[in-house]
Structure 1
Amino acid sequence: MPGKDVLAAGAVVFGSGKRVLVVHRPRYDDWSFPKGKLDPGEHITSAAVREVEEETGLHVRLGPPLHGQRYPVTGGRMKTVSYWVGRAVGDPDVSGYRPNDEIDQVAWVPYDEARTLLSYEHDRVTLREAYPLRRKTHAVVVLRHGDARSRKMWRRQDDRLRPLLQAGRLQAQRVIPMLAAYDVTRIVSSSSTRCVETVAPYSDTTGWKLELEDGLSEEEASAESVGGIVDELIDGDESAVLCSHRPVLPAVYEAIGVEDPRLAPGGMLVVHVRKGAVVASELHQAR
């Protein structure tokens, strides 16, 4: 019996002048995109960023998601690769890359050249899909707070002080590398404790300021307050996370102009925005 799929992730990274980042594997003598297998317990978004950095030396941020690839590998198993459009964060120079047994060449090549250089048809298909999405976007991440104490078990009068359960705190830790994969630099949260505790670990880890908004809390949210915050994030140019509550989230989705994905606690909807318009979205429910 064949085993479970081999899970991998990577990115089609675009640079200036419509150039594409490709790698050469001496073991197979092929040209492909940087990618690799997930580590145990690793999220696919984190794996994509890590693998690109390990194989090219470049740190990237994820843009719009692409269709995955699935093809047979040795041992009768199938390999499933998740891909995103990517952009380098910082210096894109790869001239100092040191060849090794896994990757011996890393190169930026023009799009037209990449279409013939890539060794596999499934990579050429992915490249064609990625090309129209190559322009710079920023992410707005809608995050539902993690698992919290139940209202019935919370005996204090002020529900805004209700904290996360241990499961919710674990969800908050898992969110850290996922937000980092989109290079989130702005953190906006309901002022209620359960939301603050969901995004505070990311703020503490990165040093980015945590902005608390009463207008995202269950008690004080309104269509006007939510719409104003969402419009600011959509019209901005930096990737951001907005953390709020289940009863408030429908107003967030309406302001963005997307359907309700029915986020579970700790789940996130990522919308990719260019010039104030949503060009793609993706859903990541908590594990």
Structure 2
Amino acid sequence: MADEVRPVIRAAGAVLRDGDLVAVVHRPRYDDWSLPKGKLDRGEAAPAAAVREVFEETGFRAVLGPYLKAVRYAVDGVPKVVDYYAADVVAGSFAPNEEVDELRWLSPAEAAGLVSRDEDRSVLAAFTALPGGLRTLLLVRHAKAGKREHWSGDDDLRPLSAAGWRQAEALRGVLPLWGAARVHAAPRLRCEQTVRAVADDLGVAVRSEPALSEEGYWPDRDAAVARVARLLEEDGGVPVVSSQGGVIPDLVEALAALGGVALEEGRTPSKKGSAWVLSFRPGAPGWSTSDPVSRWPRLAAAHYLPTALGKPLS
């Protein structure tokens, strides 16, 4: 008889920052001090759960930053995995509630001294290891568009399949959690369709990015990396870029090499409907006119989101 598959409790949380201070909450049910966190709802993705739990426990709306780490421990013998993100306060105020009766804003060092669990201290250590002033770019692989051999028209016009539209709808709900504000896509219908709903919700157009298509990228990879740097320097918030599987792994590896970032498990996956959350140090002012490569924004952290679709929970 095959071994019984043990259930895993999935949860998500955040180091919620307001300026130089972070939030620590007291949970009367456990009489402990903790970082805001909670279990995923059925079908919910971890980033969405992190933002929801922060709001429910603290009353603050938050925008996500870099992924920090996964914490693993057991609850009554059942494995539990908690994914943590950095997050910044956008709006809101705290009021005592059923889950949390007190919130304190502390320096990260003070927070590490107050929290009850060593796991939370390890998350705070990952948070403090990040440089300040990071900027985010969301690099998305277009959603499913059916098989090329089953499409008789121009491949640039191959549209999303029914499964692809479901992936695009899931991305619509997740990408704004990082403060998505501008939307760009390689000149492929499937790339544009993948992020069109995000653009519609934001009230912006999807801007074409020929340098980030497969035929534009490979003849001049440096120009593509420079285009990413330009997107980061533009005003207007976090850019979303929808591109292709023939571009994304190499582009992420190039950015990681420039920034000296070790990728998770040394891999650069790029499933359809997935995204890379890329966090950059700001570039030096005027980098385009003097020694541009050395003055580009530098990648500081990279996290792969294999799907925005939440998995059913047992």
Q: TM-score, normalised by structure 2?
A: 0.81
**Counterparts of 2:251 and 2:271 in 1: how far apart (Å)?**
15
Aligned partner of 2:121 in structure 1 is: 124
- In the TM superposition, 1:268-287 aligns within 5 A as 268-275=275-282, 276-286=297-307
Give the alignment partner of residue 136 of structure 2, picking from 124, 134, 139: 139
**Counterparts of 1:143 and 1:272 in 2: how far apart (Å)?**
14
Q: CA deviation at 1:199?
A: 0.3
Give the alignment partner of residue 182 of structure 1, picking from 178, 181, 184: 178
Matched, 1:261 2:258: no
Opposite residue 132 of structure 2, the aligned amino acid is R
Identity of aligned residues (%): 36
Q: CA deviation at 1:26?
A: 1.2
Count how many residue pairs are aligned between Structure 1 and Structure 2.
280
Secondary structure at the aligned position of 1:4 is classed as: coil
- In the TM superposition, 1:233-244 aligns within 5 A as 233-236=231-234, 238-244=237-243
Q: CA deviation at 1:21?
A: 0.7
CA-based RMSD: 2.3
Q: CA deviation at 1:255?
A: 5.0
Contact 1:173 1:201 in 2 (8 A): yes
Q: Deviations over 1:120-146 (max 9, x none)?
A: 222122212211226232211211111
Q: Deviations over 1:12-58 (max 9, x none)?
A: 12222x31111111111111111111111111111111111111111
Opposite residue 279 of structure 2, the aligned amino acid is H
Q: Structure 1 residues 139, 37: closer, same or farther in 2, change over 3 A?
A: same
Q: Structure 1 residues 25, 145: closer, same or farther in 2, change over 3 A?
A: same
Aligned partner of 1:82 in structure 2 is: 83
Matched, 1:205 2:201: yes
Aligned partner of 2:290 in structure 1 is: none
Q: Structure 1 residues 226, 54: closer, same or farther in 2, change over 3 A?
A: same
Where does structure 2 lack aligned partners over 5 or more consecutive residues? 258-262, 283-296, 310-314
Contact 1:61 1:86 in 2 (8 A): yes
Give the alignment partner of residue 57 of structure 1, picking from 47, 51, 59: 59
Secondary structure at the aligned position of 2:148 is classed as: coil
**Counterparts of 1:173 and 1:252 in 2: how far apart (Å)?**
25
**Counterparts of 1:28 and 1:272 in 2: how far apart (Å)?**
35
Matched, 1:231 2:229: yes
Secondary structure at the aligned position of 2:230 is classed as: helix
Where does structure 1 lack aligned partners over 5 or more consecutive residues? none
Secondary structure at the aligned position of 1:262 is classed as: coil
Q: Deviations over 1:54-82 (max 9, x none)?
A: 111112122222221112213x2122111
Opposite residue 79 of structure 1, the aligned amino acid is K
Q: CA deviation at 1:239?
A: 1.8
